[in-house]
Amino acid sequence: MTGTDILALAACGLVAIGLYGLVAQAEVLRKIIAFNLLGAGVFLLFGVVARRGAGAGLAADPVPQAMVITGLVVAFAATALALVLTLRLYQITGAATVAEDPPEPTAPDS
Amino acid sequence: MTAGLLLDLLLALAVLGTAAWTLAARSQFAAVIGFVVTGLLLTLVWVRLGAVDVALTEAAIGAGATGVILLYVVARLRGGEAEISAATPSRAQRALAALLALSVGGALAYGVLSLPDPAPSLAEAALAGTAPLGLGNPVSAVLMAHRGLDTLLEAIVLVFAVLAVWSMAADHRWGGRPGPVFQREEHGPLSLLARILPPVGIVIGIYIAWVGADSPGGKFQGGTILAAMWVLPWIAGLVRPPSVTDWRLRLMIAIGPLTFLAVGLAGFVVAEGFLAYPPGFAKPLILLIEAAMTLSVAAALACLIAGPPERRRRA
């Protein structure tokens, strides 16, 4: 097993951890963080593919690298938008989750 | 076991460990710190993979800028414990989620370990296309020429992201300056940093953007550093950001994609087609786009970090 293979497995593990966090956590903010971890794993897979495609005296194939740079910037823009939406949701409804059944407002007699 | 292999193994374990800790962290603040640490470790992984351009981007945007906006939201979000525990999936659902995550991760691992060897590569083709452009960094050549359309669309995505973030402003706050009001700090570490760091940081940001033609670096990495140098004095309250209706700010955000688009359209007349460069004149055009894009990336990222206007027009 080469070093690149080890990092490839780390990328897969990162995708798995991010996916679990995205599904199993309730808070929107934590979902966004988990989604970014998932994305980091996918980008890393690109990096592994780039490294495997090393040739012509280059340490890694430049095409996947350029795609990852594009991807990182777009991921940041999407994260910024998601966070602003989260904040706005919180300012309007006071909710930190997107549960289908929001907690019942406290009844006056309880 | 060689030292390199050991380093890869340690890095892989550290990345997975911090990522798992990010999910397990009790407080949101700790989760964000875990995320930033994971991002910084990933920067090292990118260096190990021979992708220094990506490592710079990951450090600046993936860990740095994303960490800042996450922290900023954590500081203002106060979720109720009851609401969160009511919405948290049950133990059985979480077990199913773990099963799903393990199968997806396992399938990916199987796929990536059984990729063909030797791997298909465009390295030779990309390198062959780099020299005629007058560039020395093949990654920049791919970004600016071979896959220029991707980069143009990405530049436009940044403008749209700023528009979307601004449109989240409450109606009566439209026309204000982006971001919350920060108290002016005359003393203290933040104020000192906001005075000392920008002169150095601006030079480094421009250098990294400029050197991208021949070495690792480029407009996105340099632009992010410039954005940080702009945001720092905002947060310290030393200067105020321009209003969202200020045409100069809007021009700064749009000038990069517009220049890119104009050069691309000019390709129809002076070269073979859209986004094609005339032979022998490619480098000056690429540098022109890079310069305009650096400015736009810096302005757009600074606005994305600041967020929608949160004060009235006459603040």
Residue of A nearest to B144 (CA): A66
Q: Which two tokens stand for residue A104?
A: 């019942």
What percentage of chain B exceeds 70 in pLDDT? 98
Element (H, E) at B292: helix B282-306
CB contact under 8 A, A17 and B42: no
Task: Output b/e per residue, A81-94; b: 16+ Cβ within 10 A.
Answer: bbbbebbbbbeeee
Enumerate the residues of chain B whose CB falls inside 8 A of the CB of residue A67: 147, 150
Q: Which two tokens stand for residue B211?
A: 């050197």
pLDDT at A6: 92
Q: Are B286 and B144 in contact (CB under 8 A)?
A: yes
Residue with more model confidence, B171 or A70: A70
- Break chain B into its structural domains and give their ranges: 1-75, 131-315
Residue-range domains of chain A with CATH: 3-93 (1.10.287.3510)
Q: How far apart are CA A36 and CA A13, in angstroms?
A: 14
Task: Map residue B179 onto helix, strand or coil.
Answer: strand
pLDDT at A110: 38
Enumerate the residues of chain A whose CB falls inside 8 A of the CB of residue B93: 24
ipTM above 0.95, yes or no: no
For B254-278, what is each residue's pLDDT tens digit? Answer: 999 999 999 989 888 888 888 888 8
Closest partner residue to A77 (CB to CB) among B97, B127, B304 is B304
CB contact under 8 A, B168 and A24: no
CB contact under 8 A, A96 and B79: yes
Torsion of CA B243, B226, B163, B257, to 10 degrees: 120
Enumerate the residues of chain B whose CB falls inside 8 A of the CB of residue A85: 168
Enumerate the residues of chain A whose CB falls inside 8 A of the CB of residue B88: 24-26
Q: Where are the alpha helices (DSSP H) in B114-188?
A: 123-128, 138-141, 148-166
Phi, psi for residue B179 in degrees, rounded to 5: 90, 170
